[in-house]
Chains A and B, each alone.
Chain A
């Protein structure tokens, strides 16, 4: 069915819902690369006017990829909360925006299972940045493994101690550095250079020993392919969180070597280990706009809608953490600071609206038109939006993955400016070992007990 919108003497027509949503998307290079972006500014706003008139019921009734053709579509429709949908199904996308702006946190939590990724994406396209921040801030998504992530007024940090050759001493040094800045409550998570199970085992033992030695209320993860982690669990290695990169279509997930059944198998294996002391949210997923197009698996759908579909893949596994790696993929998908900032806010909003614990890797590559000032802007906006967690990378320079993320210091900045606390158990631990005062502020000149590890490293 075609959609139409009249502007003065001109009638804009859109062949179907996928076309309408693509044209209504705020401009970005990836949709242009795919050849589906609006061709003029007026067309883009005509599409937004038109999309605002579509009801949520109609979006539910017109899957962008057919049920028979795609496992992610089947997952979305088979797990849809029809009862909760009764409250919102009659709304148009335009009315839904106003509903969200006025909704209480309790209402937003109640409707989350009824919100499909297509609905979240559609409403985000007609929202300004401030709308995305305001609504996301009201969404509460709390998860637990060895600490409590996502409480109002908190911000967690993934400590990312990567090393170009997985050198154990170098990784330990970076972990000690990050902990000393009060980072690591979300997870201590290494992207390994090697993908062998042997190397994975060495790193898992290293992190497990470090967490136990210092009794740190946090969890570890080595971010390798889920099949490798499954093998590690079978071998009895100490796996806390199970990681996988995911995307919004069956074909894109296949290009990552992942199926929903494989994720289910890994989820069950993680649960059987019972390594979480406070809760069993033990999955960790990463996503990012552009991955489906990059895998030639986008079905003519815009990259932001496909990204929201990735959160639908994550949702049934009750993950501890999900983060978009927003500027990592490069300028052919998000060209500059403006596009990266917009995408980061959209991704965070869509994830939270769907009930997923969304964090953001605030990042960019050197061939994008972006710099630290853009990252400071996005970081601050995400802090205001109640982002679940950000990354902590030494000096913001990831020497293994060759991109720039956020530094340990950046979380200190955000805490000071916005009054954000760490996960409470981790906050208490930092105070107990004498690194912070009662308010969570780092003490200057305090004795750093963590450095008891250091002599062993130098030997």
Chain B
């Protein structure tokens, strides 16, 4: 048995899946039942913990970026979970405020949205923006103020981007938390944002978190995709993420990002 236990421990290192748990009769061991319960509790808390918008705002302003607040038409979490249509739509007062704040047409609007995990935003949004800012400066993109949006779905970015007269919008949003990844951030890039865009017209960078895709790497991918989107005038299924190739050929990224 000890040989077998050793083999299972070795096999368990080959996958993040919960293998080699052992059993107590037909049931799971106490250790695995409690471990699962705790992980589920963390994922649940990630869904239901409200975003600390003030702290997020302060963190982004400390990077030297301007911030505007916005809200969707979903008034609370319970409504947000039942009515995805409301989470995709800007509250009228937010729409008016953003339209009033819009300046000249710009290249990119950045939206930080709670989505399904405020924890993902608290832990990852500022590091991603911090890593992204040098790319934007180097490329000379004109940025709209960063919008911090509550009870928001991905498509809320379409209305924000339109109101801010941006050529493209990037939404940093808390992803649906997995049992082993309650802190995962997703980034969705849409060229020509306006309400009615479909998910097939977006590019996605997912699993951005300390134990997944690191903020630096995510910012690099995002900058590569924005460069492509602005020069080719599209995002979505026809824009394949080949930033890995750019990473392997160190001379290439600057030229591509500026393209």
User: Taking beta carbons and an 8 Å cutoff, which residues of A are in contact with B?
Assistant: 29, 32-33, 161-164, 167, 169-174, 176-177, 181, 330-332, 335, 365-367, 371-372, 393-397, 399, 402-404, 407, 409, 412-413, 415-416, 442, 445, 448, 451, 454, 457-458
Q: Is B44 part of the contact surface with A, judged by Cβ < 8 Å?
A: yes
Given contacts A170-B17, A395-B18, A454-B7, contact A366 B44 (CB under 8 A): yes
User: Among the listed A162, A163, A169, A367, which residue makes an inter-chain contact with B81, where contact means beta carbons less than 8 Å apart?
Assistant: A367
Which residue of B is nearest A177, CB measured? B19
Given contacts A372-B36, A457-B14, contact A445 B1 (CB under 8 A): yes
Chain A residues within 8 Å of B7, by CB: 451, 454
Chain A residues within 8 Å of B182, by CB: 366
Find out whether the CB atom of A395 lies under 8 angstroms from the CB atom of B21.
yes
User: Taking beta carbons and an 8 Å cutoff, which residues of B are in contact with A?
Assistant: 1, 4, 7-8, 10-12, 14-21, 23, 25-28, 32, 36-37, 39-40, 43-44, 46-47, 81-85, 116, 176-182
Find out whether the CB atom of A415 lies under 8 angstroms from the CB atom of B26.
yes
Which residue of B is nearest A30, CB measured? B82
Find out whether the CB atom of B178 lies under 8 angstroms from the CB atom of A366.
yes
Find out whether the CB atom of A407 lies under 8 angstroms from the CB atom of B28.
yes
User: Among the listed B20, B26, B40, B47, which residue makes an inter-chain contact with A177, where contact means beta carbons less than 8 Å apart?
Assistant: B20
Residue of B14, B47, B81, B82 contacting most chain A CB atoms (<10 Å): B14
Given contacts A394-B17, A451-B4, A451-B7, contact A332 B176 (CB under 8 A): no
* Between-chain CB contacts (< 8 Å), 28 pairs: A32-B82, A33-B82, A33-B83, A33-B84, A169-B14, A170-B14, A173-B17, A173-B19, A174-B15, A181-B23, A332-B84, A366-B40, A366-B46, A366-B176, A366-B179, A394-B15, A395-B21, A395-B28, A395-B32, A397-B17, A397-B179, A399-B15, A399-B178, A402-B179, A403-B178, A404-B40, A409-B21, A454-B10
**Cα A161 to Cα B19 with chains together (Å):** 10
How many residue pairs, one in A and one in B, have C-beta atoms under 8 Å apart? 132
Chain B residues within 8 Å of A173, by CB: 11-12, 14-15, 17, 19
Which residue of A is nearest B178, CB measured? A402
User: Among the listed A170, A332, A396, which residue makes an inter-chain contact with B15, where contact means beta carbons less than 8 Å apart?
Assistant: A170
What 4 A-B pairs have minimum CB-CB distances, sorted nearest first? Answer: A395-B18, A170-B15, A402-B178, A412-B26
Find out whether the CB atom of B82 lies under 8 angstroms from the CB atom of A335.
yes
Least distance between A189 CB and chain B CB atoms (Å): 14
Chain B residues within 8 Å of A176, by CB: 11
**Cα A16 to Cα B26 with chains together (Å):** 50
Least distance between B155 CB and chain A CB atoms (Å): 13
Least distance between B255 CB and chain A CB atoms (Å): 28
Given contacts A367-B116, A409-B26, contact A162 B17 (CB under 8 A): yes
**Cα A412 to Cα B29 with chains together (Å):** 13
**Cα A33 to Cα B74 with chains together (Å):** 13
Least distance between B7 CB and chain A CB atoms (Å): 5
Residue of B12, B81, B83, B182 contacting most chain A CB atoms (<10 Å): B81
Find out whether the CB atom of B11 lies under 8 angstroms from the CB atom of A397.
no
Which residue of B is nearest A162, CB measured? B17
User: Among the listed A32, A174, A402, A413, which residue makes an inter-chain contact with B176, where contact means beta carbons less than 8 Å apart?
Assistant: A402
Chain A residues within 8 Å of B15, by CB: 163, 167, 169-171, 173-174, 394, 399
Least distance between B181 CB and chain A CB atoms (Å): 7
Find out whether the CB atom of B20 lies under 8 angstroms from the CB atom of A366.
no
Find out whether the CB atom of B82 lies under 8 angstroms from the CB atom of A331.
yes
Find out whether the CB atom of B14 lies under 8 angstroms from the CB atom of A399.
no
Chain A residues within 8 Å of B10, by CB: 454, 458
